[in-house]
Amino acid sequence: MWEKAKGVLSMSDMLHIGVLASGRGSNFQSIIDNIESGQIQAVMSVLITDNPDAYAIERCRKHNIESLVLKPGDFHNSNSYYAHIADELIQREVGLVVLAGFMRVVGKALIDTFPNRIMNIHPALLPSFPGLHGQKQAADYGVKIAGCTVHFVDEGVDTGPIIMQAAVPAYHDDTEDSLAERILRKEHMIFPNAIRLFTENRIKVEGRKVIVNGTREEQSIINPLTTDK
Ligand code: GRF
């Protein structure tokens, strides 16, 4: 049964989001902006980063969001690292974990704590070009359509159920950077959108398939526009 989307929620009724990010955090920013404008009714509870120099930390300062630096090297092993992250998130009553440029393969301890409650953004149209440098892989391959994917995280590398995709044109003279920039603009659209649908309880997972209770547009990709720069 789908639960009806509610009206304006109080802070305590809202979903708490925890973000994991390693770098500049432009996707993190797009989520913050959507929360602040009321498009997403959720609380941004905490940023956890593995990188003390991540610009995402500065974004937290600007928006009064807690940030935690947790470095894997300070833990016995990967399992204790991800178990600790899971504990920190549970303490803050996080209901959705968002990987926004977290440059690590997330461990089982975290995945098992948040089944189908961890979302990642990948800069390619999965299942093509998983792993690092998706944009470069696409540019080098010579595809004519590239894009990005929001998916739930499972134990594989970018293999979890696909929630939403957006496509952009790719040109023969694209560099990794020019293509990455075009894709990034779409990332900033579909990631907050997927999160909004989740907060509205309009997403369910059946096996590999993600079922979105929404319009045809919300259920599928955002198509390329030939006018896209
Ligand atoms: C994005 O390209 C995202 O798709 C990938 O890592 C990059 C993060 O960029 N997972 P930003 O830190 O959100 O600006």
pLDDT digits (tens, 9 = 90+) for 69-90: 999 999 999 999 999 999 999 9
As given in the structure block, the two tokens for residue 226 are 């030939």
Taking the centre of ligand 1 as the mean of its atom positions, its distance from the CA of residue 100, in whole angstroms, is 6
Give the pLDDT band (50/70/90) at residue 4: very low
Residue 7 confidence (pLDDT) = 63
Residue 120 alpha carbon, nearest atom of ligand 1: 10
Which residue, judged by its Cα, is nearest atom 5 of ligand 1? 101
> What is the rounded average pLDDT of the residues 9-26?
93
Q: Which domains does the chain have, with CATH numbers?
A: 11-219 (3.40.50.170)
Nearest CA, atom 1, ligand 1: 101
Query: What was the pLDDT predicted at 221?
Result: 72
The mean per-residue pLDDT over the stretch 162-183 comes to: 96
pLDDT category, 121, cuts 50, 70, 90?
A: very high
pLDDT at res. 81: 98
Euclidean distance between CA atoms 108 and 189, whole angstroms: 29
Q: With bands split at pLDDT 50, 70 and 90, how would you rate the model's confidence at 67?
A: very high
User: Which among 104, 187, 188, 191 is the best mutation to test ligand 1's pocket, defined by most ligand atoms within 8 Å of the CB?
Assistant: 187
Q: Which of 53-57's residues contact partners 24+ apart within 8 Å by CB, and which partners?
A: 54/21, 54/22, 54/23, 54/24, 54/25, 55/23, 55/24, 55/25, 56/19, 56/21, 56/22, 56/23, 56/24, 56/25, 56/28, 56/100, 56/101
Q: Note the pLDDT of residue 214.
A: 86
Query: And the tokens for 199?
Result: 């907060």
The residue whose CA has the least distance to atom 9 of ligand 1 is 101
**Which has more pLDDT, 215 or 195?**
195
Q: What is the mean pLDDT of residues 179-204?
A: 97
Task: Give percent of the chain with pLDDT exceeding 90.
Answer: 87
Q: How far is residue 3 from each of residues 60, 199, 209, 213, measured CA to CA in Å?
A: 32, 11, 19, 10
Position 1 pLDDT exceeds 50: no
Residue 172 falls in the annotated catalytic set:
no
Name every protein residue with a CB atom under 6 angstroms from any ligand 1 atom.
Answer: 21, 23-28, 100-101, 121-123, 148, 184, 187
